[in-house]
Structure formats: structure tokens, C-alpha cells
Amino acid sequence: MPAPYCYEYPRPMVTVDLAVFSLVEQSLRVLLIRRGHEPFAGKWAIPGGFLEMDEPAEAGARRELREETGLEIAGPVEPIGFLAEPGRDPRGRTITLAHATVVRPGEHKPQGGDDATEAAWIKIGDHIDLAFDHGEILSQALAWLRRGVIDRTSTLALEVLPRSFRLEDVHALFLGLGLTHRQTAPWLRRMVRSGRIERVEEPLLHFHLVESTS
């Protein structure tokens, strides 16, 4: 017996994608998977897949990330928009709910799983021919991260930097987002004054994340 309120009209499919950023080898990187199946077999893509019928969108994004890369994200995941252009997916009309998050470097080692043959941290700025319209999702995710880094009330940058970092790490993060060296000094001063990081002079100048005791 058909479910109540089930209409005989075509309905779109829904997918969830999750862009994950980290600072790896002193460069801003995004976690990508290499697709194992058509369409776009062999191409890099943002981790994601079809949303299950009784699954919240964020839970679906976290599940797909775990299945395709092995990563379990403990921190917040933010919705950043949706893509719904007809023809964006050769499998049929598909609406994607895009999400983004950051992880601290060195805490996550991805490994391809499910329908992903490979998972890797890819440097922002490298020319990559992404599957579907994932280039647009990546652009939206980078804009989200850039807003979070320059927002005076946000601590997002501290969540992507190592717990102990040097000035060069901050430069790498800012440059990866299209920001400038000159913008790093005010940000560092603001973080030190807020008590979120401390400046350590020896043996080499670096900064250390102050862990919250609350």
C-alpha cells in the first residue's frame, strides 16, 4: 500500500557533500576522494553521497565522509548552501546540500573506502578537474572558511592550525584563502589579547593554543 501523501510526480534525488579543510605540510588543503564508479570514475570529488530517507542532512554528510575517507568529525559541521541546477548530475535531477568543516592537522589520516578508491589532502591552488560541479562547492566552502578566519568574533582559524604553530603556519593559512601577510599580524595580536593563544619566544618564536578550562 503506498504511503500517504505520495504523489505520482517525478521527484529529485538529494545528496550531501562535506568539504573538509586542514593545514598539511604548511599549506591549506581540502580532503578529496577519487571516484571508483561512473559517472566521473577516476576523478577527484568532495566526499558525499545520497541522503537516506530518514536521515538528517548533517548526519548524512558525516556518514558519507566516514564511509569514504574513514574520518570521524567531532567538531561542528556547517551547512554552506545548496546546488540544484538541472543537468548537474548525469544520473538524474539531483539537489546537493553542501557542508564544510575544519580539522586540526595531524589528527586525521584519510583512507579511501566504500565507492572511493583513494582519499587525500589536496593543496588549495593546485589545478584539479573535479567531478560534477564540485568546483563550485569548493568555492563556496573556501568563501565560508575565509569569512570565518577574518571574522573578529570567530575562532575558526584556531581550529585549522596546529595546537602549537609558527608565524609561517598563519601565513600559509591566510595565503591559501587569498588573504595577505599584513592581515596576519592584527589577527595574531587579537588572539593573544583575547587569551586564546600565548606567544612563546624560545627556543624559536611560536604561538601555543590556550586550552579552555570551562
Report yes or no: 192 and 199 within 8 Å, Cβ to Cβ. yes
User: In Å, how far are 36, 41, 138, 188 from 91, measured between CA atoms?
Assistant: 15, 13, 21, 47
Q: Which residues pair with 122 in a beta bridge?
A: 30
Cis peptide before 39 (omega within 30 of 0): yes
| Gap between the Cα atoms of 122 and 124, Å rounded | 6
Q: Assess whether 118 carries a catalytic annotation.
A: yes
Task: Report residue 161 as a C-alpha cell.
Answer: 592550525
Catalytic residue among 8, 25, 52, 118: 118
Q: Which residues are catalytic?
A: 118
